[in-house]
A and B are shown apart, each in its own frame.
Chain A
Amino acid sequence: DQQVKQNSPSLSVQEGRISILNCDYTNSMFDYFLWYKKYPAEGPTFLISISSIKDKNEDGRFTVFLNKSAKHLSLHIVPSQPGDSAVYFCAASGPSNTGKLIFGQGTTLQVKP
């Protein structure tokens, strides 16, 4: 039973355009959501997070949107840059805040120059 799903294994966008990565979850008890970026041969790097009491969080070029009723979150990258090419994982935690993260399968983003 996969509680966090990223249904698009890959995404390709042109440099300067918007990248939108999507994530769906099934457990309504999740209350904290995170996005990580991973380059080959490296560990995941934290990008941005959002608490379930918010519907939007922005950090520079990165914005995460949360739609609790749809159990859906998305990461927007504007403008996309070639250095953003990586695997993006969404993750969820809660409600006991053990810190345990449930990860999606990841979406490989390719930003073409």
Chain B
Amino acid sequence: DSGVTQTPKHLITATGQRVTLRCSPRSGDLSVYWYQQSLDQGLQFLIHYYNGEERAKGNILERFSAQQFPDLHSELNLSSLELGDSALYFCASSKVGVNTEAFFGQGTRLTVV
């Protein structure tokens, strides 16, 4: 158990809909990252939040947004869903500091039908 909790584990929704994925980081971790893993692909960095503030953005679509709340949990919002958005979405958290490893949650498998 990494200590990072993601909900829900599975999500099936229709095209055009909007969903929210939730992540609770490890206790004491201020940084939260979101990654997307499509079929047979590596993990693609989406966005990084540190203590409530956006720190870095990757290849995140404009239809996607995220935020980190004062209690440090984070939500990834995906809207106007398309079939190609079907993927595993992982959240990771890490401590402050140089060269620290990130710990990943179990992921949310999103299926858009």
Is the beta-carbon distance between B101 and A45 smaller than 8 angstroms? no
Given A104-B42, A106-B42, A99 and B100 contact (CB-CB distance below 8 Å)? yes
Given A103-B43, A106-B42, A98 and B55 contact (CB-CB distance below 8 Å)? yes
Considering only CB atoms and an 8 Å cut-off, how many residues of chain A contact the other chain?
Answer: 26
Which of B2, B55, B94, B106 meets A41, CB within 8 Å? B106
Q: Please measure, in the bound complex, the distance between the C-alpha atom of A93 and the C-alpha atom of B43, giving whole angstroms.
A: 13
Considering only CB atoms and an 8 Å cut-off, how many residues of chain B contact the other chain?
Answer: 29
Q: Which positions 22-68 of chain A face chain B at CB distance < 8 Å?
A: 31-32, 34, 36, 41-46, 49, 51
Binding site for B on A (CB under 8 A): 4, 31-32, 34, 36, 41-46, 49, 51, 89, 91, 93, 97-106
Binding site for A on B (CB under 8 A): 2, 4, 6, 31, 33, 35, 41-45, 48, 50, 55-56, 58, 90, 92, 94, 98-107
